[in-house]
Structure 1
């Protein structure tokens, strides 16, 4: 699905859920974006999936955890990181399964989903597509005015996905260029 810009509610804000899919931990991060573009932290955590007895059960935990987040925080839009090719085909396949489970859970709710490659997320937040995790976490804390506490990596990555969607949507709104075209330019 392509999102041209966040649909602002009557309160003048939009709530975005960012998802950093993973087969061991899936990060979720929720932000509110005001009509003037200011982003505010709402919630972030990692859904821990390793307690499951097998891989299919991990996917079940992911769906249940995501359902609970969707119920509690009622996001208007969802943004998710796309799969990147890792050194291991098996790891990439498991990541793809986790991402698919997350997408299916959100699609069943009929919430708009935007997808962003890792390179675009890093470029959007740090200015370099090859930025490291510490640089991304630093920018997430800075942009959301969070204290200098260590963010759990998957949760910080999920917030980065949500922030990227907010920034890309604002740029799309200003320029009239659809977000899917902006993503291609940054990839």
Structure 2
């Protein structure tokens, strides 16, 4: 299964494609970030994010998109902008017919670092270790996107089993 992990933002959108094979083996397939010009209008920044995500989806053909749920901090303006970028990512997935799984930042950190309040540096190092990368992914938006994909690889089987039990 090829998982596209997304860490939404308006300045930088991190993305990471992780191949999840049998026996829990994970491999980084591709990763990077989409950067938007700081002085550009919000609508044009969002259009750029949408276009780039569509291109990534078209080129790599992932099986699912895993995206971080919105985390509200004290700055509501930042949260609103991130929410818009997140919405554009969800729209890109919907237009491509790509299923979406959503995870809280706490779930992502718990799945990757074993601690829901792990600092960014620890998440970066764990992503590096879990994927066998030569160095920690940089910027941290890329590490976060890879972490979301890793989270999906580890949590999805449990969610599927749980759903099967609940349906019986």
Structure whose residues are more often helix by fraction: 2
**CA–CA separation in structure 1 for the residues paired with 2:90 and 2:66:** 10
The answer on whether the counterparts of 2:10 and 2:36 sit within 8 Å (CA) in structure 1 is yes
Structure 1's consecutive aligned runs of 4 or more residues displaced over 6 angstroms after TM superposition are none
Corresponding residue to 1:101 among 88, 108, 119: 88
Aligned to 1:177: 162
TM-score under structure 2 normalisation? 0.92
Contact kept in structure 1, 2:125 and 2:136, CA below 8 Å: no
Residues 145-180 of structure 1: per-residue CA shift (max 9 Å, x gap) = 00135532111110000000000013345xx214xx
Compute the TM-score of the two structures, normalised by the length of structure 1.
0.83
Tell me how far 1:94 sits from its aligned partner.
0.7
Equivalent position of 2:44 in the other structure: 57
- How far apart are residue 52 of structure 1 and its match? 6.2
Q: Secondary structure at the match of 1:141?
A: helix
* Aligned with 2:134 (options 129, 132, 147): 147
Which residue number in structure 1 is paired with residue 115 of structure 2? Answer: 128
| 2:155 matches 1:168 | yes
What's 1:90 paired with?
Answer: 77
Q: Which runs of 5+ in 1 are unaligned?
A: 1-13, 182-187
Contact 2:137 2:143 in 1 (8 A): no
CA RMSD of aligned residues (A): 1.7
